[in-house]
Chain A
Amino acid sequence: MGRVSSYDQAGNDDAVLLRATGLTKRFGDFTAVDSIDFAVRKGECFGFLGPNGAGKSSTMRMVGCVSPVTSGELRLFGLDPATDGPAIRARLGSCPQRDTLDEELTVAENLWVYGRYFGLSRKEVRSRAAELLDFAQLSDRAGDRVEPLSGGMKRRLTIARSLINSPEVLLLDEPTTGLDPQARHVLWDRLFRLKRSGVTLVLTTHYMDEAEQLCDRLVVMDHGRIVAEGSPRELIEEYSTREVLELRFDADDHKTYAEQVAGIGERVEVLPDRLLVYTDNGDEAAAKVHAAGIEPLSSLVRRSTLEDVFLHLTGRSLVD
């Protein structure tokens, strides 16, 4: 882990490494990213939260300098991707949504080959690859072909590969999509370590728990626009209540029950299979429901999450 952890912490920690102003991406008539503004500071973990098709991946591809900006301004390390793409990419790590490993090659070969794209000497590539395989907990699989590895291992290898050039900013597009819960936690742990070592992380996710776990700051995206921005805690405080009472009824349509519980709590959201009552005191609201003679199949009090923020902002769930 030597090189990964020996990140230079000196310098201005508030330095903005990445700034977008009016950033727009169009494909023909379709506007994938619609004039968004954001800035990422050195050392933070910045997230794009939103459902599939919100424009997160298109944004990430522009930031990764593999898709030209349609209009607006994008700067990384003060450089313009339109003119300095290779110089920017030399300083980025990129972990795409789908693994782009060569499954016919061995784990170590994937790293060696990739390091050469960044102009590292063969000697340096080999020593860095050994460290990164250790970091990714894949040292014992170094000589094995990639193809039979588990999804979580391939994902960790993709991340190890994206670190071969010691990037200053690591881009992660849906890093844990398709992984089982255990593999996700292993991956989150690795990402935490990277962040602690000073690597700036920029990630997209449609999992609210991932955003809450990893992100210092995030933007909520919907239909190519940013609809809210802040830390997970700030967003929950601003757009939701402290607690949520979830009520399930024996009914195909929960709308009729929504009218009955209206007035209990600050507001009520109707989902296909349950009602969400937003309130600062869930137990008190549950008591009121009971007192009103309404009998749900089940009721559950929980804290507000980013899922609730998203539901409130867009009227839709994150994961369809």
Chain B
Amino acid sequence: MAFSQPQPVAQAAAQSRAAHGTREPLSRAERTLAVFGYFATVYKRTWRGSVIARFLSPLFFMLSMGIGLGHLVNSRAGGVDGLPYLQFVVPAIVATQTMWVAMGESTYQVLGYIKWNMGYHAMLASPMGVRDVLRGHFLAIATQLVFATSVFMVVAALFGGFSSWGALWCLPIAVLTGMAFVTPIFAFTARQEGDDGFNILFRWVMTPLMLFSGTFFPIAQLPGWMQPIAWVTPLWHGVESCRMVSTGTVSWGLLAAHLAVLLAYAAVGWWLAERSFARRLVP
């Protein structure tokens, strides 16, 4: 898991930014990568623990639901609409695990940088602004999502979880699904004083979403009044998109609508996060 920071271009020609007087401003890319560089340094120390923790949960779900329960479903009902249960559930787990990664990265960690070790304050004392801090941190989390999703997908593929090469599209869709959770949760976290709100988020938002967003069974099995709840939350859209591309049954209009909802969550969340960060960090 090597994170490397690109070398600035034409460094030799430029005057040092440690020389007194007016300093050459940093480009947006430089600012984003400087913040990303911090998180990369942190991950270099902690990735072993987090990769194993993140990888094991989806693996257990895949083994118990996909293979254990799947055996029952396949023998009694012939799979889900003819699809072997493992191939039904694996793309959905790909989308769902991003929600857990998002929770892990956007709650206690973020409150820590705001309140406890005040890492954001350290950044904001430098030329970095709130937008740079968010951009760099989101990039770091997106990178984590890429790694976590890739590792799981490789293992799931070895177990026969995918039936077509279209499944590769699950990776970008999963990252987008994760970001649709990350940015609104950032905005939420920046308004918390303690961790009480996180318990509510875990118990009353994340767990129900995992159970009722079509991960383990089609939402058509739910009572009619519950289905609209799945429609307005991001996870179902991620699950459906991943399932479509990996089973090769893509309905383009529907896929575009799902992705549009995910993009909207990520974009509105980003906007809200900028607002709550500015209010909290540079009062």
Residues on A lying within 8 angstroms of B by beta carbon are 3, 7-8, 27, 64, 66-68, 85-87, 89-92, 94, 96, 98, 100-105, 109, 112-114, 116-124, 128, 162, 164-166, 168
Contacts and interface: CB of A to CB of B under 8 A. Distances in A.
A105 B8 CA distance: 24
A8 B34 contact: no
Contact of A98 (B19, B20, B118): B118
B29 to A, nearest CB: 11
Contacts of A101: 117, 122
Contacts of B283: 27, 67
Interface of B: 5, 7-8, 11, 16-26, 30, 33-35, 37-38, 41-42, 45-46, 117-119, 121-129, 281-283
Contacts of B17: 90, 118-120, 165
Contacts of B24: 119
Nearest to A99: B118
B18 A120 contact: yes
A123 B8 CA distance: 11
Given A100-B117, A104-B45, A66 B20 contact: no
Contacts of A68: 282
B41 A113 contact: yes
Given A66-B282, A90-B23, A109-B41, A120 B16 contact: yes
Contact of A118 (B119, B127, B282): B127
Contacts of A117: 34-35, 38, 123, 126-128
B18 A128 contact: yes
Contacts of A103: 117
A96 B129 CA distance: 17
B25 A86 contact: yes
Nearest to B39: A113
A7 B20 contact: yes
15 contacts: A67-B283, A86-B128, A89-B127, A100-B122, A101-B122, A102-B38, A103-B117, A109-B41, A117-B127, A118-B26, A119-B26, A119-B30, A165-B18, A166-B19, A168-B20
A205 to B, nearest CB: 19
Contacts of A168: 20
B22 to A, nearest CB: 7
A114 B17 CA distance: 13
A121 B15 CA distance: 11
B117 A118 contact: no
B18 A114 contact: no
Contacts of A105: 41-42, 45
Contacts of B281: 66
Contact of A119 (B21, B34, B125): B34
Given A103-B117, A124-B18, 15 more contacts: A66-B124, A67-B283, A85-B129, A86-B25, A86-B128, A86-B129, A89-B126, A90-B23, A91-B21, A100-B121, A100-B122, A102-B38, A121-B11, A162-B125, A166-B19
A102 B23 contact: no
Q: Interface majority SS on A: helix, strand, loop or mixed?
A: loop
Nearest to B45: A104
A89 B125 contact: yes
A-B pairs, top 10 by smallest CB distance, nearest first, are A117-B126, A100-B122, A94-B125, A86-B127, A100-B118, A166-B18, A90-B23, A119-B26, A116-B34, A90-B127
B117 A116 contact: no
Contacts of A118: 17-18, 23, 26, 126-127
Contacts of A114: 122, 126
Given A66-B124, A119-B17, A102 B282 contact: no
A102 B37 CA distance: 13
Contacts of B124: 66
A89 B129 CA distance: 10
Contact of B117 (A67, A102, A123): A102
Nearest to A171: B125
Task: Find the residue from B11, B21, B23 having the highest chain A CB count within 10 A.
Answer: B23
Given A68-B282, A100-B119, A166-B18, A116 B125 contact: no
Contacts of A96: 118, 121, 125
Task: Find the residue from B25, B41, B45, B119 having the highest chain A CB count within 10 A.
Answer: B41
A79 B102 CA distance: 40
B34 to A, nearest CB: 4
B42 A119 contact: no
B282 to A, nearest CB: 6
A122 B33 CA distance: 12
Contacts of B38: 102, 113, 116-117
Nearest to A64: B125
Contact of B7 (A89, A119, A121, A164): A121
Contacts of A124: 16, 18
Contacts of A7: 20
Given A87-B22, A116-B34, A121-B8, A66 B125 contact: yes
Contacts of A94: 125
A103 B45 CA distance: 12
Contacts of A116: 5, 33-34, 37-38
Contacts of A113: 37-38, 41
A102 B121 contact: no
B30 to A, nearest CB: 6
